[in-house]
Structures are given as structure tokens and as C-alpha cells.
Amino acid sequence: MTKNIGEILQKARKEKGLGLQAISKRLFIKAHYLESIENNEFYLIPSKPQLLGFIKAYADHLDLDAEELMSSLTEKPEEEVIIPKPESDIDETSTANKLKSQQIFLEIGNQLRDNREKLGISLDDVASYTHINPIHIDAIENGDIDKFSSAAQSRGMIRNYSDFLGMDTSRLLVRFAEALQTKIGIITDEDEVPEPEPVEEVETPDKKPIFKLREIFNLDMAVFGIVGVLIIFFLFWGVGRMMRVQSEIEPVLTPTEVVEAEETESADTSITFTDIIADDETSEDDLENEANDAIPTIQVVSGNSLTINVMTSIRTYLRIIVDGEVEFDGRVIGGTNMAFSAQDSIEVITGNGSAVDIIYNSTQLGPMGIFGEAVHTIYTRDGRYNPTPVPLDD
């Protein structure tokens, strides 16, 4: 009856048109365990209690008498007349079976080791990716199956190892089952082991090394990523800062722009030359003597035009008269550079002679006077001179 349990279950399943996968999901039993039961490979079930439980659940699902099926596993076999064999024959047969099974185990281990070495994978790498203890990996490669607690454990590890190396796992498991049956004496030298059915090869993409996220995104990668983001941020910030600073640099103002800027700061920008003189406590003779000492010699301009550049070092008052027309009248800030051209004359009036530098037709003349000195200078093509102040009528 034992030999027919698998056939009875398989026949009942096919009559109902059910698949192993569907029953596996319904009963929460792995499909390969159900397949082992249908093939009467009960030794592939980890333990006898599990075997009995699987058969009972499977039979109940197929509306079969589970007790009758399971009774054949628990009842004692009928006594048979056994012709005793000589002890020497029994020992020789048992020893031969063990040697043959050990050779198959060793053959499986050699195949796994050869493939691993061809791929250049170490035992530590295999243990890391398959989560198999290196001691068990070494036992598999050496054919030492006795180190495992059960056949199911060794079979599962061999399957995982073979899948990781991309080998034909089904053939290795058939050889493993053959070794187990030989070891317990189910298969002898006279029995023929059926060859596994050829499996249609399906083209699959080459397996690539398995990378785990925790090995890629580790603490070092996070630190480098944060530092890289900060560097990029500061680069953009620095470039933007430089552009803003350059845009804030005050350009050289034209006379019109200077007048408009000064009008927003002060409502009264008109200061007469008489007022400047009145505010100055320095004597006229001293100022004239100091100014004449600092005045360089200038060359007479040959041509029909006169050009001067007026540059200020600090905030001061300026009035520029070109050919009798007032071109500029107001206060200017330090760093201002204004250019004027005339046919006859250019008059420059300032309240602080040291704050104004003059370039006369490309000749650097230096400051117009000393600090706090009110200066009125007329520049012509023949040179320059200071007009004599005229007192006001009473």
C-alpha cells in the first residue's frame, strides 16, 4: 500500500483537474513536498510527523480517506520468511553502498567547487550571498554529508548553492537522491537509475553579480554625498555673490546721473562761490601760495578743442562751466570721474581743492588745492588761471 500512496493522491488530483501550485497555496504546503509525496519520495520530507500531516491534509483536500492512507505508513509489515545471509555478505553490501553513495556526494561537491573556482568566487562570497555557513559549504564540496542534521537540510543547501552558481540544479538533486537511496540500500548496482527528463533550455540573460542596497548605500556614501551637495551649493552661492558684488560696483557717472542722484539726497544743492569763500577761514594769500607750489607746469594745447577729466577722491561740491554754460552743479561722491570738452574754456569750482584731481589734455595736474580750500580755476587752450574775486556791491 505504501508504494501506492503517491499514485492514489496524484490520480485523485488529476481527476479533479487541480494543479500542485493551487493546492500548495490552499494548504500552505510547499509544492516540492507535495511532488515528493506523489513520487513516494518520503525520505525528502524533513520528519515523519510532517509527512503524516502533509498526507492527511492532502487526502482531506481531495476527499480521500486519510486514515486508510496513513495506516499503511504506521502498520507493521507482515512477517516474511527471510533467508538469512551470511554476515560477510551483508557487511560487504553495506560497505559497497556507502562507498558508492560517498563517491556520488563527492562528485556533486567537485562539480560545485569547479564551477565556483571558474567564476573566481571565494567561499566567503558564497556564504555572504547564500547565507550558508562556510563550514557547511566546505562539507558539501568535500562530499561530507554526514555533517548535516538531516538530508532535507543538505539538499536545500545544495540547491541554493547550485542556483547561485547558475548550474543545472535539477540534475544535481537527482544525483543527490540517487546517493541517498544507494546509501540506505534502496538502489543496488543491479538497479538502473532513470535519467532525468531533458528540460527545455530557456535563454536567460547572463546573471550579474548581486549587489545589496546596504552594501552600496552605506555610511561612507552618505557622508560623501552630503559633502558633495554642500560643495556644489557653495560654488553656486559664490558665483552668485560675485555677480551681485560686481553689479553693486558704482560705474562712472555722467554729469546728468550725478545731478539726479544728488537731488534725492539734498533739496538745496546750489552753493555760490561767495558762500564757499565766506566759509573758509584760511587767508587768501596762504591758499594761493600753497596752491601755486603744487601746480605743475602744463603745455599749451595745439588744436581747436580742450578736454579735461575731473576726478574726486571724497564727497565734495563741484560746479563745471563749459564755454559759458553750466554743465554740472551739485555734490559728488568719491570715485566720480567726469570728462568735459570745450572750444574755449572750462571752469571748475570746488569747495575742497584736495578732493578734486584734474587731467588736462592727458596731462596729470594733481589736486586743485589743499584740504578745505575753495578753488576756482579756468582751463583754456593756452593754460589755466585763477580769476580774481570781485567784492559784492553794498
**What's the confidence (pLDDT) of residue 391?**
66
pLDDT of 256 strictly over 70: no
Mean pLDDT of 334-350: 91
If asked whether residues 355 and 272 sit together in one domain, one would say yes
Residues 181-207 pLDDT 10s: 887 765 444 444 445 454 454 444 444
pLDDT of residue 213: 55
Same domain (yes/no): 104, 168: yes
The answer to whether residue 287 sits within a structural domain is yes
Given a cut of 90, whether residue 328 has pLDDT beyond it is yes
Average pLDDT in the chain: 76
- Let me know if residue 250 belongs to a domain: no
pLDDT of residue 53: 83
130 with 24, same domain: the answer is no
- The answer to the question of residue 195 being in a domain is no
Number of domains composing the chain: 3
Q: Which three cell numbers stand for residue 49?
A: 510527523
The residue segments making up the domain with residue 296 are 255-385
Q: Which of 174, 189, 204 is the last residue of a domain?
A: 189
Asked whether residue 289 falls in the same domain as residue 331, the answer is yes
Q: State which of 131, 157, 189 marks the end of a domain.
A: 189
- The per-residue pLDDT for range 205-246, each reduced to its tens digit, is 444 444 455 556 677 888 889 999 999 999 999 999 898 887
Residue 53 lies in a domain: yes
Strands 345-350 and 375-380: antiparallel
Instruction: Answer whether residue 394 is part of any domain.
Output: no
Single residue among 152, 174, 189 that ends a domain in this structure = 189
Does residue 288 sit in the same domain as residue 171? no
Rounded CA separation 25/172 (Å): 27
381 shares a domain with 268: yes
Residue 48 lies in a domain: yes
Clarify whether residues 67 and 110 are in a common domain: no
Long-range contacts of 299-302 (CB under 8 A, 24+ apart): 299/361, 299/363, 300/381, 300/382, 300/383, 301/361, 301/381, 301/382
Statement to judge: residues 124 and 61 lie in one domain: no
In a domain, residue 216? The reply is no
Neighbours of 129 (CB within 10 A): 14
Quick one: pLDDT at residue 320? Answer: 95
Question: Is 112 within a domain?
Answer: yes
Provide the pLDDT confidence category of residue 80 given band limits of 50, 70 and 90: very low
149, 102: one domain: yes
How many residues would you count in the chain?
394
Q: Which stretch of 72-76, 112-116, 150-154, 308-312 has the lowest confidence by average pLDDT? A: 72-76
Quick check: 310 and 358 in contact, CB under 8 A? yes
Same domain, 181 and 68: no
Whether 286 and 373 map to the same domain: the answer is: yes
CATH number at residue 8: 1.10.260.40
Residues in contact with 124: Cβ distance below 8 Å, sequence separation at least 6, in sequence order? 134
Q: Rounded to two decimals, what is the model's pTM?
A: 0.30
* pLDDT for the residue 310: 93
Residues 273 and 373 in one domain: yes
d(CA 104, CA 108): 6
The confidence band for 350, taking pLDDT boundaries of 50, 70 and 90, is very high
